[in-house]
Structure 1
Amino acid sequence: MSESVTERTEPTQDQLENEGDVAADYLEELLDIADIDGDLNLDVRQGRAYVSIEAESNGLDVLSAPETVQALQELTRLAVQNKTGAFSRLILDIGGSRDARRRQLETLVNAAATKLDEGASQASLPSMSSYERKLVHDIAAEQGLVSESYGEGADRHTVLRRR
């Protein structure tokens, strides 16, 4: 029995901009329902639509926790997919949550590097999303570390070693 492999083509700039517009419409409705004021910014970077929500007030504090951002990102991706019929890899940032998460990941990588400096042959990080693992790979490379992902699904995690 042969299996057919469907090749996923990279979305065009116009498709990514449309993803951002659809996501923004969905998120604006959500913010209206929650009675939260926020400014939406749309961008296209590295083959993905990026949507960020920023506010001058503290209204976004409740939404900017990493788990909440991840859940809202998944809901927004589903809304985009439902509207466009195409898989979405959109990235959502709420109140600078992505920068805050990157700083947390840098701290994790720094702690792992310290363990390696103290003689450990490798250091395992906790399970995380594919986006977070990509950030870890980038941070590790900047520090001259080798990084590899292991595991499946929700258990997928990154292991770091010295070169």
Structure 2
Amino acid sequence: MSEELNETVVDETEVQAPEAAESAESSVKALEEEGDIAADYLEELLDIFDLDGDIDIDVRQGRAYLEVTANGDSNLRLISDPETVEALQELTRLAVQVKTTNFSRLILDVGGSRQARVDELTRIVNKLIAKVKDTGEAVPMKPMSSYERKIVHDVISEAGLVSESEGEGRERHIVIKPS
């Protein structure tokens, strides 16, 4: 009986491993498809506004990630403001959702604006971390998107402090607290 049980466990494990690999593979394929749909939508928008740009699609941390770049003297800077990129991202997500009927969590970067925003947030958070360490008091931040909050939570955690998101909707913000 013990040998039969061991064989059953081994057989179930062997069956589950390929299923898990297939699930991960189908998830990546779905995200790549999402990226393709988003890229088609963005290409049409760029054409309508006569903007130059190349679109790169990647899958990062369980999300489709699209980066619009241009070489040399480009008019892409016209839409690389962080608020504009956020709005374009939401429009692109909606376009993907209409085609796939699934919620999209894609990330859009135009002209390196995302990395510039990450650098800016990191600089701001590091100043606030120093303030919290000096005063020992909690410091609230301005409201920001869920993507930005994730970045900020990670920076705060790496510094050994605690952070919490508070508020609802557009008023959702982070409070940095001493550990």
TM-score by shorter chain over 0.5: yes
- The answer to which structure has the higher helix fraction is 2
1:102 equivalent in alignment to 2:118: yes
Q: Which residue of structure 2 lines up, in the alignment, with residue 6 of structure 1?
A: none
1:161 equivalent in alignment to 2:177: yes
1:77 is displaced (CA, Å) by 0.2
CA offsets 1:116-158 (integer angstroms, 9 cap, x no match): 1331411111000000000000111122221110000000000
TM-score, structure 2 normalization? 0.83
Q: Which residue of structure 2 lines up, in the alignment, with residue 3 of structure 1?
A: none
Q: Is the 8 A contact 2:136 2:178 kept in 1?
A: no
Q: Is the 8 A contact 1:108 1:125 kept in 2?
A: no
1:60 equivalent in alignment to 2:86: no
Give the structure with higher Rg (CA). 2
Structure 1 segment 6-155 matched on structure 2, within 5 A: 12-56=27-71, 57-155=73-171
CA offsets 1:72-110 (integer angstroms, 9 cap, x no match): 000000000011111100000001111000011112211
Long gaps (5+) in structure 1? 1-9
**For residue 138 of structure 1, what is the amino acid of its counterpart?**
D
- 3-state SS in 2 of match to 1:50: strand
1:58 is displaced (CA, Å) by 3.0
**For residue 20 of structure 1, what is the amino acid of its counterpart?**
G
Moved more, 136-145 or 71-80: 136-145
How many residue pairs were aligned?
A: 155
Q: Which runs of 4+ in 1 moved over 6 A?
A: none
CA RMSD of aligned residues (A): 1.6
Q: Supply the distance in 2 between the matched residues of 1:41 and 1:125 (Cα, whole angstroms).
A: 32
Identity within the alignment, %? 57
- 3-state SS in 2 of match to 1:137: helix
- 3-state SS in 1 of match to 2:105: coil
Long gaps (5+) in structure 2? 1-23
Q: Supply the distance in 2 between the matched residues of 1:14 and 1:27 (Cα, whole angstroms).
A: 20
- 3-state SS in 2 of match to 1:53: strand
TM-score, structure 1 normalization? 0.91
Q: Is the 8 A contact 1:24 1:51 kept in 2?
A: yes
